[in-house]
Structure 1
Amino acid sequence: MTAPQRPSLEVCLSPALLHLYDVKNSIVVIIDVLRATSTICTALYNGAAKIIPVASVEECVHIGRQLGAITAGERDGKIAPGLEYGNSPFEYPRDFIAGKTLVLTTTNGTKLLHMAKDAIQIITGSFPNISAVCDYLAAQGQNVILGCAAWKDRINMEDTLFAGAVVSRIQQHFNVNCDSALAAFTLYQAARHDLFGYMRQASHFQRLSRYGLEKDIRYCLTPDSANVLPLLKNGELVAAQ
């Protein structure tokens, strides 16, 4: 009797490559480590009722007014004009965000989330919730695409490192026949003992550092500081129960 075929585990290194993957038959993990998906899990971990990801600042403002929600987001690492809050996880402590709705737009992460809308399931992943992500994926028995938000379609280091960290944790449950997954895994193996130090050479580290955001970067590279699983349901991200 032959063993059942294991599901596939693949890494898409940029939204520009997503059309090459079988999204409709996969769980897609949206990865935008610096900082959208780190902020999403942090806000939900701290009790946000839900997060509504939108593509544009205009839509963010409009929905925020309709719902009386917090409007937040960034463009190129800075708070977008017209929005109340930015994309730092430190802006969403429990005493501020608990029970509230957050409407969020970002340069890269929310774009990829909307591109993956036909997936079996969409979740978001980052180092602060890596264990929740890995436990969920290992238990589902479904094909998985780790989708890196990248930076304006250019491959970036932090999202690739997170994808590699996930591959390293759960590869035994999957068939990994994907060179980008192997590349991400290899990069993570080189960096895993000092992610923050390794990231110093990365373009986004340098971009955010110019705004004095090294504290954000360090938090976003810290495993399990907000270990909750954000699931997309009816266009809204909620914490899995």
Structure 2
Amino acid sequence: MNNRPSLFTSLSPALLHLYDVRESIVVIIDVLRATSTIATALYNGASSVIPVDSVQRCIELGGQIGAITAGERDGKVAPGLAYGNSPFEYPRSFVENKTLVLTTTNGTKLLHMALNNGAPTVITGSFPNLSAVCDYLVAEKRNVILGCAAWKDRFNLEDTLFAGAVIDRIREHFEINCDSSQMAATLYQEAREDLYEFMKKKDASHYHRLTGYGLEKDIRYCLAADGANVLPIFIDGRLVVNQAI
């Protein structure tokens, strides 16, 4: 029983320093919308996604390599960038065989934080690639940290719900001595019948913010399972589809 790997949930980037990422797979979770958009772009044939932590770096790198420059700040397309953070901006007809350089308010920053803290393996997770994430974590048999990008370090519902969905599926394979993981699983059990209505009923902050921008379609897509079921993994400075079986 005790030889199972461990699983922890970090509810905010501000808490990541409390976990030893050096022996773990770190799952970056930014459901609304960075990691949903990353999975979608790769599912639709993008060759890679390069996450960067500043708009300026995004513009510079995109210009150097001829990539699509994209990102948001506070939920809107960042000034100076051509595209935003909606999964619907990246159909196959647009992104196939192209590289996307992406910067977002929360998700790309957390990814770099995990790398800087020594994480050996970083993947990204969201409801559109829920099954791919769960299958990978079970197959790897390694310690896991579910890292919620949250919102400017503040806890949010949707990232925690995704952590709970992962735990709900894979908990029998892991040793979970972690109250935040138990809470995430409990929250997901309450919400699972209709995640969108749960977010709406609770007037979740990010639901409220994106609905204010007319982005209900984005929210519904980002809360639906397996619409872009590939596994983005960070290799040599970029996120690519994991090809290992």
Q: TM-score by structure 2 length?
A: 0.97
**How many Å separate the matches in 1 of 2:19 and 2:2?**
22
User: Equivalent of 2:226, from 224, 228, 233?
Assistant: 224
Aligned to 1:26: 24
> Across the two proteins, how many residue pairs are aligned to each other?
239
Q: Look up the match of 2:97.
A: 99
Moved runs in structure 1, 4+ residues, more than 3 A? none
Letter in 1 for 2:53: A
Q: Which residue of 2 is the match for residue 169 of structure 1?
A: 169
In the TM superposition, 1:121-200 aligns within 5 A as 121-200=121-200
Residues 6-54 of structure 1, C-alpha deviation per residue, up to 9 Å, x if partnerless?
Answer: 1001100000000000100100000000000000000000000000000
Say what the alpha-carbon RMSD is for the aligned residues: 0.6
Deviations 1:31-89 (A, max 9, x none): 00000000000000000000000000000000000001000000000000000000000
2:12–2:155 CA contact under 8 A, matched in 1 = yes
The SS at the match of 2:101 is: strand
Name the SS of the counterpart of 1:11 in structure 2.
strand
Unaligned runs of 5+ in 1: none
Matches of 1:131 and 1:69 in 2, distance apart? Answer: 29
Asked if structure 1 preserves the Cα contact closer than 8 Å seen for 2:2 and 2:175, the reply is no
One-letter amino acid of the structure 1 residue matched with residue 226 of structure 2? D
- Mapping 1:19-98, distance limit 5 Å: 19-98=17-96
Letter aligned with residue 149 of structure 2: A
Matched to 2:148, the amino acid is C
1:235 and 2:233 aligned: no
1:9 equivalent to 2:11? Answer: no
CA distance in 2, matches of 1:234, 1:49: 13
TM-score (norm 1): 0.98
CA–CA separation in structure 2 for the residues paired with 1:38 and 1:194: 18
Identity among equivalent positions (%) equals 71
Matches of 1:149 and 1:130, distance apart in 2: 16
